[in-house]
């Protein structure tokens, strides 16, 4: 079963495919798989290469590349799930590559219902680097993951080799100083740079708008900041920093 699923996913355009038993998956913050999918036995995790858009200083182009991956990942997830249903009579649930996820004061929109990083680790698709991203042996840091949960019994793939050389380029190039403590990402420092038009900015903007006199409100509504908040409100999370990914040399060919 594993090789048929792997072959189908690779033919769709996935860059790599890994498998893990539900028992081997462990995320410190996400809810238990059983609460999402009673009877879940395995996860199928796919790796996708981040496009070169992430190198652009034009953040519309940079984020556009991420949106392309999200769209491709969602479509492919559905196709692989349907393949598994038809071919093996499996019960399958897809895992979002990015959003939707739980948005609450408790999670700050930072905790996936299934942690794809920890699932990728368990599925042999990489090891954590100094940037706290999963570094794929071939794709390095420029990789995003998507996946499926199933009631099929699929064995775990072997663990991947570690390729981080602790060069600290990710730490030095983080504008928010979010990686200063090894093994920890200071999420609020990161979000101020990577998602400057998220919920915190929305709360600040609308609070200030309501408390401002009419003339000041007109200026605020004409300001570039409002227009970016407006766009972020209907296209999804706005990523404005890819430094920890694009500056990492791991897995790159010279």
The answer to whether position 156 is within a domain reads no
Q: What is the 3-state secondary structure (H, E, C) of the chain?
A: CHHHHHHHHHHHCCCEEEEEEHHHCCCCCCCCHHHHCCCCCEEEEEEEECCHHHHCCCHHHHHHHHHHHHHHHHHHHHHHHHHHHHHHCCCEEEECCCCCCCCCCCCCCCCCCCCHHHHHHHCCCCEECCCCCEEECCCECCEEEEEEEECCCCCCCCCCCCCCCCCCHHHHCCCCCCCCCCCCCCHHHHHHHHCCCCHHHHHHHHHHHHHCCHHHHHHHHHCHHHHHHHHHHHHCCCCCCCHHHHCCCCCCCC
Q: 137 and 216 in one domain?
A: no
The answer to whether position 59 is within a domain reads yes
pLDDT given for residue 146 in this prediction: 97
The answer to whether position 36 is within a domain reads yes
Q: Which domain holds residue 227?
A: 196-235
Give the predicted TM-score (pTM) of the model: 0.91
Q: 29 and 96 in one domain?
A: yes
The answer to whether position 92 is within a domain reads yes
Q: 228 and 119 in one domain?
A: no
Q: 215 and 137 in one domain?
A: no
Per-residue pLDDT of the chain in tens (254 residues, 90 and over written 9): 999 999 999 999 999 999 999 999 999 999 999 999 999 999 999 999 999 999 999 999 999 999 999 999 999 999 999 999 999 999 999 999 988 888 888 887 788 999 999 999 999 999 999 999 999 999 999 999 999 999 999 999 999 999 999 999 999 999 999 999 999 999 889 988 888 888 889 999 999 999 999 999 999 999 999 999 999 888 877 678 999 999 999 987 65
Q: 12 and 116 in one domain?
A: yes
Q: 40 and 101 in one domain?
A: yes
Q: 116 and 19 in one domain?
A: yes
The answer to whether position 96 is within a domain reads yes
């Amino acid at each position: 079963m594993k090789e048929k699923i792997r072959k189908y996913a690779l033919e769709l355009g996935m860059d790599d495919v890994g498998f893990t038993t539900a028992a081997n998956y462990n995320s410190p913050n996400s809810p238990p798989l059983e609460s999402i999918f009673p009877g879940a036995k395995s996860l199928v995790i796919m790796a996708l290469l981040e496009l070169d858009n992430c190198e652009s200083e034009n953040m519309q182009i940079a984020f556009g590349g991420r949106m392309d991956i999200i769209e491709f990942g969602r479509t492919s997830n559905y196709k692989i799930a349907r393949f598994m249903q038809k071919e093996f009579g499996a019960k399958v649930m897809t895992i979002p590559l990015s959003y939707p996820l739980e948005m609450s004061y408790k999670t700050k929109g930072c905790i996936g219902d299934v942690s794809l990083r920890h699932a990728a680790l368990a599925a042999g698709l990489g090891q954590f680097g100094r940037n706290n991203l999963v570094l794929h042996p071939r794709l390095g840091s420029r990789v995003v993951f998507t996946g499926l949960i199933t009631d099929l019994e699929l064995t775990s793939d072997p663990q991947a080799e570690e390729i981080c050389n602790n060069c600290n380029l990710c730490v030095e190039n983080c504008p928010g100083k979010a990686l200063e403590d090894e093994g920890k990402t200071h999420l609020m420092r990161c979000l101020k740079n990577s998602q400057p038009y998220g919920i915190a900015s929305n709360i600040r903007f609308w609070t200030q708008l309501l408390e401002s006199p009419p003339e000041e409100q007109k200026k605020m509504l004409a300001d570039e900041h409002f227009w970016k908040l407006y766009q972020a409100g209907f296209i999804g999370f706005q990523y404005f920093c890819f430094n920890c990914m694009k500056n990492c040399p791991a897995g790159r060919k010279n």
